[in-house]
Amino acid sequence: MTKTNGIAAKIRALLSKTTANGSTEAEALSAMAKASELMEKHSLSITEVELREEECVTMTIDTGRRSQNAMRFVMTAIAHFCDCKVWVCSATRNTNVEYKFFGLPHDTEIAAYLYEMIQNTMNAEANLFKETDTYIFAKQYRGGRRRASNSFEIGFTSRISQRLRSMKNDSDQSVASTGTDLVSIKGQLVNEEFAKLDMRLTQTQSKTYISGSASNAGRAAGSRASINRGVRQSSSSTLAIT
């Protein structure tokens, strides 16, 4: 096991300490903080030799849904932020919609955690939105409250997507200014390993009708979400990338 694989295993164990798995809220928060610390420390200490010893993996996210929701508008941004590839597998008779992250182990761990945090935050913000006049009076318009709810979530994930891409670009520029080329080496490595999968992916398009006011409310919520560097969970269950 390489050094980075060992760290990824520790992060995996820490992220598994959730209230759903029997940990107290205090224990879960402490584990999340420690995982964030390891992620940050590892990203700063990795060398090119260690990077090239890594093996890419595929992380599967079971959405628990038979169709995609607004998270589809942020998935490529999550992958970009975490130096991963991502694709979606449609639901079958025996499976739900699944997202697949492909990349280095610690990067796919972060991508999976980001997915969960953004999904949870979107759900929490959507519940708050349902108490607003914009949602309550949406029943008077075409598409009603269902369209308003979908529009809010699309606005939220679209805004988070923009912010993740901006953060990633700033981070890459900062690394480049130090003369370190690990970012491009990692990208090359992931691209090479992904090509070996010989997958034939296709792009699909679908029409989405949105309510402007509800979408704007979602974008505002996406702007309010706390985004810094790293990943951790706050006690209020809001998105925090520190």
pLDDT tens track of the chain, all 242 residues?
A: 455 556 667 776 776 777 667 777 677 777 777 776 776 666 545 566 566 677 899 999 999 999 999 999 999 999 999 999 999 999 998 999 999 999 998 889 889 988 988 998 999 999 999 999 999 998 888 788 999 999 999 999 999 999 999 988 887 776 666 555 667 778 888 988 999 988 888 777 766 777 889 999 999 999 988 764 344 433 233 344 33
Helix and strand numbers, DSSP H then E, in the chain: 9, 6
Q: Which of 157, 70, 61 is nearest to 116 (CA)?
A: 61
For tokens 């296709």, the residue is 202
At residue 58's C-alpha, the angle toward residues 193 and 38, to 5°, is 100
CA distance 82 to 11: 15
Q: Is 108 exposed, middle or buried (0-12, 13-18, 19+ CB in 10 A)?
A: buried
- For residue 190, give both structure tokens: 């992931």
User: Whole-prediction pTM value?
Assistant: 0.74
